[in-house]
Every structure is written in C-alpha cells, then in structure tokens.
Chain A
Amino acid sequence: MEYSEKVMEHFRNPRNVGELENPDGVGKVGNPVCGDIMELYIKVDGGIITDAKFKTFGCGAAIATSSMVTELVKNKTIEDALKISNRAVAEALGGLPPIKMHCSVLAEEALKKALDDYRTRSAQSASGKAA
C-alpha cells in the first residue's frame, strides 16, 4: 500500500483543522470500532459555504480526506456541495489505495450530515421566526 504525494501533502499539512464557533452545520460520523471518527463544521452565509473545519481521529487517509473535503466545499453553494461524492474527494487527492476508499466515503458522509444539519437548523429557525 502506498499513498499518493497529494495524500501525503494533505496529511503533512492538513487544511482547516479545528472547530468553528457557532457553526451553521455539524456532521459527526464514524466510530471507534472501525478506527475513524470525523467531525465536520460548516459556516453558511447566503446559501454559500463560507468556512469549513474538521477534527478527525483516524489514519493518514482519513486525515487527508477530511482536509480535502473542507477545501472542496468552501465557497460552494449548498446545492453544489451536496454533489461532492466520495470519488471526487479521492480523485482530488490523486487517488486512494483501494482499502482506504472507505475513508473518502466517511468524508462524504460527514459532509452530507453537516449539510443536513444546516438545513434542519435553518428550517427550525425559520419556523421559530414564523411563530
């Protein structure tokens, strides 16, 4: 098994590590059994994702895919962000070893959850305002 140079580059210098204060959406996925846990935070302004950060417990590929997904979503509309697939994350990293593809799936799931969370929150605050 060997990682691409791009994976190693993101692993060595992960982008957007940390949490956001008052995030508009949070996606938490994974579990200790499989050895990967990802938390993804997004900030949304006017339907555009203006910031994203992550915290990850996991292998090299888990950290690199987390880093890449935060890069990919920034400045995207919610609709475009929903279209980011695990394959897109893996491709942006110059590919992943086959046994590490699940890490890209986890990154996609974290993103989907964060976006779902954002929509739930905005629906709640809209109905709150209406009431």
Chain B
Amino acid sequence: MKKIYLDNAATTPTDRRVLEAMVPFFIEVYGNPSSLHAFGQEANHAIEDARYTLASCIGAKPEEIIFTSGGTESNNCAIKGVAYARHEKGNHIITSKIEHHAILEPCHFLEKQGFEVSYIPVDKYGLVDPADVEKAITERTILISIMHANNEIGTIQPIGEIGKIARGRGIYFHTDAVQTLGHIPIDVNELNVDILSASGHKLNGPKGVGILYVKKGIRMLPFMHGGDQEQQRRASTHNVPGIVGFGKAVELAKEEMGKEIEKLTSLRDTLFEGILSTIEFTHLNGHRTKRLPNNVNISIAYVEGESMILNLDMEGIACSTGSACTSSSLEPSHVLMAIGLPHELAHGSLRFSLGRQTSEDDIDYVLTVLPGTVTKLRSMSPLYKKEVK
C-alpha cells in the first residue's frame, strides 16, 4: 500500500543529510561544550557554527540566538520571561485568538497571576488587523505576541506592520515563527520583531531543539536556572547533536527555499483546487494567497474529521483535523471557531500539510482517494440526508 505523509505541520522527517551531520556529535565529539578541554571545545565550535547559521538566516547577530528544547519552551520563555521581567512597567499583554496553545496557555497562566491579556480577533481568513492591535494598546501594555503563520490554516500575518506599531510605542514584540522558519523568508529587522521562536523539527531537523531570538537590549527573565550556558539566559547542557542538526537543517532549507516555495505552492493549489472542484459542499479555510506554501485546510460538510482521518489512514494517507474528537472539551479547534466556521464545518475540517518529500503523484493519489471516502461517510451521515432532500 502507498504511504503518503501529509502532516508536515505536525512534524517532518529528519533529512538524511541532517542526520549524517549529527551522528559524529553522539559518538566522536561528545564533549560538554562548557568544558575547556579539546573534547568540549570542538563541540563548542560546532554549536557556535550552528548559532551563526541560524542568526544569518533571520538577519540576527549570533549572540541574539538562544538554543532551547523547542517551540513550546521558546514560546513559554518569551511570554513569561518578558511578563516577569517587565511587570513593574505594566501587566498587559496583547496576542491573537488563533495562537498556538504554547502561547495561549502561558497567557492563561499569567492571567491567573494577575496579568491582563487581550486576545485580538481575526477576520474570516484568519488575518489579524494591525489597527485592532493598535487599538488594544494601553499604558500598561508590555508585550505583543502574534504568530508569523498559523499552524492550522496557514494564514501569514502582517508581522512587519504590527512590529512597527509595537516599536513606535516601545512595546516588546514577539512572533511565533515555528511554522515559517526555513519555509518562507524571515528577516527580524524587516519584521520589526524583538523576540522570535522557532523549532528544528518543522524544517526536516531533529526534534527536541529550538531557538529564541532575543534582540540585543531586550529584558527577559530566564526560564531555566542552573549553569552559565547561553550567557546565563538558558541553563542546561547543550543538546549538541540537536543544535548541529538544526543548523544543518536551516542551511539546507535556506539553499532550497526558493525552489521549495515554488514546488509546494503549485502542489498546494493543485490539491485544494482539485478538492473544491470534485467534491461538493467543500470550503477552503484560510487565505488563498497569504498562506504557507505547504498548507491546505478544507472543511467538508456533513462529515466529521476524525472519521475521515481514520478512513484516509486506511488508504495510507496521513493528515490531521481540527475536529474536537481528541480533546476532552469536545470543542473544535479554536482557530476554526475564530474564523467564524459553524461547529459542524469546524468538526469536518482536514489539514494536509505538504513537505520536502511530497510529490505530484502523492497529490494525485489524495485526489483519487478522497472523494470515495467522503461519499462513504456522507452516505452514513444524518446531516447529508437532510441537505440532499
């Protein structure tokens, strides 16, 4: 049976070239980078090389890059680290309704500690209006955090404009770039961001490593206390193989970005146009063009997401859904609700996220299999029956 992986927004396979770059750092160059002997120093040079690669990819200085354990840590660190460092200046944070849980949950936590958080709504495409951000600013605002691109619907936010507003008011600006690093160009200076989070495993790098870009002069309390690593901003022995792998993944992504954007955009459009034209009562979620090259998110009326995922999995296709069925709350995705989808369409959403390995044949296969799956489930659906009658 064919096996087609279209869940690259969840995680990507590690590129073989990345793995090969990592291997020596498990078995040969295994020293602790904090050690002064040759074993340690060689490892230290490798992480500094990776730091340089990461920094130059986003227009930052190497000393502005902190290595972390991944996107969730970077986001937690950014939100709580700024809140605690600046609480004497104010207690108000602005973010959006469609952030990843790794932003929303730290915000909810801070609300319990007495901080105030404004959650900016989005339009039907999932776009934040910079004017809404500006209106929400108060004397007490210390941080604005808006994601670069949404992980579910792929909408790319006007980060540069929002950053300009924040900078004009002297407010720190953070962006969660977990879905964008290595996929679309990022320049922290053009985007006017002070703090940026990213993760290795979303761009064919290893799991368990991430970065936080922190612009020089930005005050933030550390999240991990211990040794003096990362200029005392993040204690813990460096994950040397992970950091080396992340560096290699970014190097490859940067080299191949132009080609990859072109290829994935074309496959993405073929996929969603194919679905919309062959299956009735379907709807594209997110923006048609202000969208990640690898993201297709479709709502299919009268069928539920999990049952579609299970059926597609039986045909060898891996994708995901914004349906509630795996959450204990039974509420569908907060992102799909924020763009105004009715519950039944939010429950009937499918996300296909393409990757480096995705081919035209893969897309053709999905377009061949999906209509049959939908027909099968609709024939069982009490909602479809009513519509057709």
A contact residues vs B (CB 8 Å cutoff): 1, 8, 11-12, 14, 17, 19, 28, 32-39, 55-63, 99-100, 102
B304 touches A35 (CB 8 A): yes
Task: Using A34-B330, A57-B302, A59-B325 as known contacts, say yes or no to A39 and B382 having CB atoms under 8 A apart.
Answer: yes
Contact A37 to B382, CB < 8 A, known contacts A58-B304, A58-B307, A59-B325: yes
Residues of A within 8 A of B79 (CB): none
A35 contacts across to B, CB distance below 8 A: 304, 323-325, 330, 332, 343-344, 347
List B contacts of A61 (CB < 8 A).
Answer: 325
Query: Are B330 and A59 in contact (CB-based, < 8 A)?
Result: no
A49 to chain B, nearest CB (A): 20
Across chains A and B, the number of contacting residue pairs, with CB separation under 8 Å, is 72
Q: Does B113 sit within 8 A of A, measured CB to CB? A: no
Nearest opposing residue in chain A for B344, CB measure: A32
Interface presence of B128 (CB below 8 A): no
Bound CA–CA A11/B304 (angstroms): 13
> Once the chains are docked, how many angstroms separate the CA of A38 from the CA of B382?
7
Give CA–CA (A63, B378) in the complex, Å: 12
Task: Tell me which residues across on chain A come within 8 A of B303, comparing CB atoms.
Answer: 57
The 7 A-B pairs with the shortest beta carbon distances in the complex, nearest first, are A59-B306, A59-B325, A32-B344, A35-B347, A55-B382, A32-B343, A39-B382
CB contacts under 8 Å to A, within B272-310, are 302-307, 310
Extra inter-chain contacts (8) besides given A11-B310, A57-B302, CB under 8 Å:
A11-B307, A12-B314, A19-B385, A33-B330, A34-B330, A55-B385, A62-B304, A102-B330
- Tell me whether B138 is interfacial, beta carbon within 8 Å: no
Whole-angstrom distance from the CB of A102 to the nearest CB of chain B?
7
Residues of chain B lying within 8 A (CB to CB) of residue A1: 326
Contacts of B304 in A (CB 8 A): 35-36, 57-59, 62
Residue in chain B with minimal CB distance to A54: B380
Query: Of B326, B342, B380, which is within 8 A of A14 by CB?
Result: B380
Cβ–Cβ contact B307 & A60, under 8 A: yes
Binary contact track B370-389/A, C-beta < 8 Å → 1, others 0? 00000000011111110000
When chains A and B are docked, how far (Å) is the Cα of A55 from the Cα of B384?
A: 10
Q: B386 to chain A: closest CB distance in Å?
A: 10
**Which A residues are in CB contact (< 8 Å) with B323?**
35, 59
Taking a contact as CB atoms under 8 Å apart, the answer to whether A99 and B326 are in contact is yes
| CB atoms of A32 and B347 under 8 A apart | yes
User: Which B residues touch A19, using CB under 8 A?
Assistant: 385
